[in-house]
Structure 1
Amino acid sequence: MITFNNLNIGFNTHRVLEGISGNIQAGQLVALIGENGAGKSTLLHTLAGMHPFEGDILFNTKPLHSFSKEQLASKRAVMMQSNHVGFDFSVFELIAMGRYPYTESLKTQANKVQKYASLMDLTHYLTRRMSALSGGEQQRVHMARTLAQLDAFTAQTEPKLMLLDEPTSALDMRHQHTLLSCVRTFVEQGNSAIIAIHDLNLASLYATNAILLHNQKVLQSGSINTVLTAQNLQQMYAMKLHVNPHPYNDAPMVFSQRQEFS
């Protein structure tokens, strides 16, 4: 699906990530985990073709730079942490922006918008303005736009890639699970997703794999059960953590303990 080898990424003279490699296959939902400033957003921007880099990135076995923006538009979609909208669009209009790679009638477009709005519990929001929504509601709108751009849950001939930067950060518990279960189903249909996320227990429940970024490097990568260990996490966060099995799911649960401020 997407492979990156020996990537060096930075801003001017500041190196953010150095010599990192990874291979994300179809059917994998990969949690990108690290401290603030670890390079999660930078890596997502880079894999989306939006940031310069040294090294190699292959998307569906072809060099990423060999695709035009128009070609990539229907193959990979990006939902970034900051989704500033320069105009006060309606919810319908913003979701419809995801349909720009497709040539279709207005009726078909409207049906698609309704479909993806429904998946994010936005059916009754379509005429509302973005400025009238809470941060979490706006986040769900941008997720619906991302689904619309990839024509998710529609028969397709090749795998597609979803890149999400902290997509659950403003959501309540119910909508966090709604969004991630949607992404998990998308992945199980032969696609891939990479999600930058700070909630380790949500990541554990829904991700198949994880990449830990620490000190400009990949500290550990692999299946979620082998990566989310107390040893790995304590090395990354420099704090005492406990990892126990989830009572109902085959997933590790991470527990911290209260600290005294000094």
Structure 2
Amino acid sequence: METNLSVSGLAVRLSGKTILSDVTFAARPGKVCTIVGPNGSGKSTLLKAITGEAGYDGDVSLNARPLDRYAPRELAEVRAVLPQHTQLSFPLTVKEVVRLGLQNAPLQMADVRDRIGAALERVDMAGFEGRAYQSLSGGEQQRVQLARVLCQVWEPRNGDLPRWLILDEPISSLDIRHQVLIMDVARDFADRGGGVLCVLHDLNLTAMYSDQVLVMKKGRLLADGKVEDVYNDDLISEAFDFPLRIGALPGPAMPFLLPQAARKTL
């Protein structure tokens, strides 16, 4: 059975305006597939269509099954979504927020506590269970939301079928240490057989972690391939409408810092 996340001929129109046009690709289990592109290129809209939050024309399927043939509960068991922004109106604790990801899990109370604790530890939020969610910084809230999402698809595979993590800018509010930590979590999920589809703005972290890169521009898919195929001066410059050079320093004496340097000591 085909176990891809497949998109074919996808188009989205909002208020009479075409946001996405003829997007076709397949993300594969065991891989990290990353979407990059300039602001307004349609990255988040693409994720919203794939997750069923935005209406679309075309075809989207998960594990060879059309998206519209999943019941909501079934869909929640096969994929978990971290949106770009999450607002909570109720005064929940960190533990209560993370537990939302376990609503469909048949666990005993002790197992629920263990799962919540383990998820928070993965995102470097251990010991925050009793804290008020609203009292946290933006980056801390983002990591709590990722812990919730991880709880929903704790095991990357359900028998022969992969589960999927769909992440919209998961590191946007994080310092460099936690950016690497969260991308390590995504990489581990894929390495254990799950599928990861994410939107990133950091092209260096994209190169570090991605098996497949989708480059978006003006609602269309400009390129789809491995990092070494996509990362070239002409293509990246075209995507961002800005003259860029891959692997070139901007000045002879300008210091720089890449996250790859930190990974040697982890």
- Asked if TM exceeds 0.5, the reply is yes
User: Retained in 2: the 8 A contact 1:7–1:20?
Assistant: yes
Does structure 1 residue 140 correspond to structure 2 residue 140?
Answer: no
Aligned residue in 1 for 2:199: 196
TM-score for both structures, normalised by structure 1 = 0.91
- Deviation sequence 1:7-39 (CA, Å, 0-9, x none): 111213011000110011111111101111111
Aligned residue in 2 for 1:260: none
Deviation at 1:106, TM superposition (A): 1.4
Aligned residue in 2 for 1:43: 46
SS in 2 for 1:104: coil
TM-score for both structures, normalised by structure 2 = 0.90
Name the CA shift for 1:154/1:226 in 2 (closer, same or farther; >3 Å): closer
Q: 2:87 aligns with which of 80, 84, 98?
A: 84
Q: Quick one: distance in 2 between partners of 1:225 and 1:152?
A: 30
Aligned residue in 2 for 1:177: 180
Aligned residue in 2 for 1:166: 169
RMSD, matched Cα? 1.5
Q: Quick one: distance in 1 between partners of 2:76 and 2:146?
A: 15
Q: Quick one: distance in 1 between partners of 2:46 and 2:197?
A: 10
Report 1:38-117 matches (<5 A).
38-117=41-120
Moved beyond 3 Å, runs of 4+: 152-157, 254-257
Q: Quick one: distance in 1 between partners of 2:205 and 2:231?
A: 12
Q: Quick one: distance in 2 between partners of 1:105 and 1:178?
A: 29
Amino acid across the alignment from 2:100: M
Q: 2:124 aligns with which of 101, 121, 128?
A: 121
* More deviation, 196-205/146-155: 146-155
Report 1:185-224 matches (<5 A).
185-224=188-227
User: Retained in 2: the 8 A contact 1:241–1:256?
Assistant: no
Gaps of 5+ in 1: 245-253, 258-262
Q: Quick one: distance in 2 between partners of 1:239 and 1:42?
A: 23
SS in 1 for 2:162: coil
Aligned residue in 2 for 1:235: 238
Q: Quick one: distance in 1 between partners of 2:195 and 2:119?
A: 18
Aligned residue in 1 for 2:257: none
Question: How many matched pairs?
Answer: 248
* More deviation, 185-194/147-156: 147-156
Deviation at 1:155, TM superposition (A): 7.0
| Identical columns (%) | 27
User: Retained in 2: the 8 A contact 1:88–1:130?
Assistant: yes
User: Retained in 2: the 8 A contact 1:241–1:255?
Assistant: no
User: Retained in 2: the 8 A contact 1:211–1:218?
Assistant: yes
Aligned residue in 2 for 1:251: none
